[in-house]
């Protein structure tokens, strides 16, 4: 667990640095996606490097979003050089004197080419979940899980822009990160090991703040619930969520946030429900849910598909599921699955 937390902390630091540069250059609304691409690769390298260094005798098996194919072409070289420089700025702080070459960076990226599956140990990484949120100065997260024989047994969520205290309805809005980042009470690290409960501590913990155990909200009625959904309606239908919320008697407006920070908020009872209904053709990736899944379950919540079947991470890089995902405390979860059977159309 210690190396997983360290890996996510270091990768989060790298992302924060890039987001700071983005805001300084006022590139937020521009079409240039390269800063997020550099940060995505860079965060993946930092996580894989940290984990491999902690256990040098076993070749790391990681299921991750990025591979090195494009970076190995001549056209990819400038990007590779930017990634290498960024990674080395973080590596230098963690391991003084150590410098990675571009070739080493490529090889470390390819540690993420694992296909996962039902046996053995595989790490599962989304280096930046919520890339749209990252460029829009909103929420994003660094999400690391570990599969042991097809079960998620560990999860760490780094949420650099998430307030440690109460979260307002505007804290997921465009530009909110510019207001939040830099505050001492912003930035959360959620973590959980199977059977050990779910915990949160400040992301940049100098070692003085003890972790706090988190539990999902003890809410049983829709009228008391606050539901969370994606900012992007193309990622997840807002209208299906609204119909389900109506069915349950939810009165509060949805809290819209990017990325798995929603699982973190659910685990600490700040939001009560997270629903995701992607387009029927979309294939859900395991790295978009692994870390949040174990954290919410260990906080007492349930995370299933819309038919109430627990998520299955043993089938490779994709989740097989019926329609969407519903995550909530048990009593509300049961009601939502019943409502989904009526409301959410079959794919």
Ligand X SMILES: Nc1ncnc2c1ncn2[C@@H]1O[C@H](COP(=O)(O)OS(=O)(=O)O)[C@@H](OP(=O)(O)O)[C@H]1O
Q: Is 66 in the site for ligand X (CB under 6 A)?
A: no
Answer yes or no: 40 catalytic. yes
Is 305 known to sit in a ligand binding site?
Answer: no
Residue of closest CB approach to ligand X: 230
Identify whether the C-beta of residue 207 lies closer than 8 Å to the C-beta of residue 291: no
Please tell me whether 32 is known to bind a ligand.
Answer: no
Rounded to whole angstroms, how far apart are CA atoms 231 and 159?
16
- E-strand spans in the chain? 62-64, 121-129, 141-148, 151-163, 186-193, 198-202, 212-214, 227-229, 255-256, 273-276, 302-305, 325-328
Q: Is 40 in the site for Mg ion (CB under 5 A)?
A: no
- The distance of closest approach from Cβ of residue 175 to Mg ion in the complex, given in angstroms and rounded to an integer, is 21
Binds ligand X (CB under 6 A): choice among 148, 282, 309, 341: 282
The reply to whether 83 sits in an annotated binding site is no
**Residue 49 Rama label (left phi>0; alpha psi -120 to 50; beta):** alpha
Which residue in the set 6, 171, 201, 288 belongs to the binding site for Mg ion (CB under 5 A)? 288
Catalytic residue among 50, 84, 131, 304: 131
Residue 247 forms beta bridges with which residues? Answer: none
State the nearest-atom distance from the C-beta of 347 to ligand X, in Å. Answer: 13
Q: Residue 154 has what DSSP assignment?
A: E
Identify what 318 binds: Mg ion, ligand X, none; CB under 5 to 8 Å per kind: none
Q: Which does 304 bind (CB under 5 to 8 A by kind): ligand X, Mg ion, none?
A: none
Interaction of residue 171 with ligand X, rule CB under 6 A: no
Whether 220 is catalytic is no
128 to 147, contacts with ligand X by CB under 6 A? 128-131, 133
In order of 137, 164, 173, 254, 271, the CA distances from 179 in angstroms are: 9, 14, 11, 21, 21
Closest alpha carbon to 83 in 97, 73, 68: 68
Nearest residue (CB) to Mg ion, 179 versus 285: 285
What is the x/- site pattern for ligand X, positions 257-276, by CB under 6 A?
-xx----------------x
- For residue 78, give every residue at least 6 positions away whose Cβ sits within 8 Å of its Cβ, in sequence order, or none: none
For residue 285, the minimal CB distance to ligand X (Å) is: 6
Contacts to ligand X from residues 287-306, by CB under 6 A: 288
Q: How far is CA 201 from CA 9, 204, 276, in A?
A: 11, 9, 26
15: closest CA among 62, 112, 75, 83?
A: 83
Q: With CB under 5 A as the contact rule, which of the stretches 30-38, 54-62, 124-132, 290-298 interacts with Mg ion?
A: 124-132
CA-based R_g, the chain, Å: 19
Q: State the binding partner of 120 from ligand X, Mg ion, none, CB within 5 to 8 A by kind.
A: none
Strand-by-strand arrangement of the 198-202 sheet: 62-64, 121-129, 141-148, 151-163, 186-193, 198-202, 212-214
Annotated binding site for Mg(2+): 65, 126, 128-129, 288
Active site residues: 40, 131
Positions that interact with ligand X (CB under 6 A): 126, 128-131, 133, 229-230, 232, 234-236, 258-259, 276, 278-279, 282, 285, 288
């Amino acid at each position: 667990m210690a190396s997983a937390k360290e890996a996510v902390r270091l990768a989060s630091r790298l992302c924060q640095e890039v987001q700071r540069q983005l805001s300084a250059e006022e590139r937020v609304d521009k079409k240039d996606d390269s800063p997020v691409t550099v940060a995505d690769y860079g965060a993946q390298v930092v996580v894989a490097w940290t984990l491999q260094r902690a256990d040098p005798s076993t070749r790391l098996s990681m299921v991750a979003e990025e591979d090195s194919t494009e970076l190995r072409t001549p056209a990819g070289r400038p990007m590779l050089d930017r990634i290498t420089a960024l990674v080395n700025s973080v590596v230098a702080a963690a391991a003084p004197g150590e410098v990675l070459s571009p070739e080493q960076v490529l090889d470390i990226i390819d540690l993420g080419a694992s296909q996962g599956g039902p046996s053995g140990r595989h790490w599962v990484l989304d280096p930046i979940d919520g890339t749209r949120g990252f460029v829009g100065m909103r929420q994003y997260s660094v999400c690391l899980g570990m599969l042991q024989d097809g079960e998620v047994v560990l999860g760490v969520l780094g949420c650099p822009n998430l307030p440690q205290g109460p979260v307002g309805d505007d804290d997921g809005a465009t530009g909110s990160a510019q207001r939040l980042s830099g505050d001492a009470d912003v930035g959360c690290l959620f973590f959980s090991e199977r059977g050990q409960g779910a915990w949160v501590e400040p992301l940049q913990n100098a070692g003085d703040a003890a972790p706090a155990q988190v539990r999902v909200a003890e809410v049983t009625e829709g009228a008391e619930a606050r539901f969370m959904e994606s900012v992007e309606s193309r990622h997840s239908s807002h209208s299906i969520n609204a119909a389900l919320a109506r069915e349950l008697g939810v009165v509060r407006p949805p809290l819209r946030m990017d990325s798995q920070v929603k699982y973190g908020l659910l685990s600490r009872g700040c939001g009560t429900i997270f629903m995701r209904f992607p387009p029927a053709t979309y294939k859900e990736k395991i790295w978009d849910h692994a870390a949040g899944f174990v954290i919410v379950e260990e906080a007492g919540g349930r995370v299933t598909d819309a038919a109430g079947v627990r998520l299955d991470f043993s089938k490779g890089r994709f989740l097989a599921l019926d329609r969407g995902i519903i995550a909530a405390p048990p009593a509300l979860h049961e009601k939502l699955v019943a409502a989904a059977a009526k409301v959410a159309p079959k794919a």
